[in-house]
């Protein structure tokens, strides 16, 4: 397992624990990814068809993710 994979797994595990979830939604997974610091800085390598508009953002762009719950403040959670 790479360092990146381990960090992702630990972040998802922390999110699930803090929010008392067994299965996070895809939207929640994306929130965790953005809180880890990932940003869309390159065009997509996937062909998603004409219905999906591609974009890029600056590497230092804000995550755009708000806190999930107030109780999260006391927990160790990535990005906060």
Q: Give pLDDT tens digits for 5-39.
A: 999 999 999 999 999 999 999 999 999 999 999 99
CA 72 – CA 39 distance, rounded (Å):
23
pLDDT digit string, tens, across residues 41-80: 999 999 999 999 999 999 999 999 986 544 444 455 554 4
The predicted model scores a pTM of 0.76
Phi, psi for 29 (deg, rounded to 5): -60, -45
Task: List CB contacts of 16: < 8 A, sequence separation 6 or more.
Answer: 22, 24
Q: What does the pLDDT read at residue 28?
A: 97
């Amino acid at each position: 397992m790479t360092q990146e994979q381990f960090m992702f797994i630990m972040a998802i595990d922390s999110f699930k624990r803090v929010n008392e979830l067994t299965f996070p939604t895809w939207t929640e997974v994306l929130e965790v990814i953005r809180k880890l610091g990932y940003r869309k800085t390159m065009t997509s390598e996937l062909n998603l068809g004409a219905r999906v508009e591609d974009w890029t953002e600056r590497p230092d762009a804000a995550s755009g993710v708000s806190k999930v719950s107030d109780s999260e403040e006391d927990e160790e959670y990535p990005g906060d």
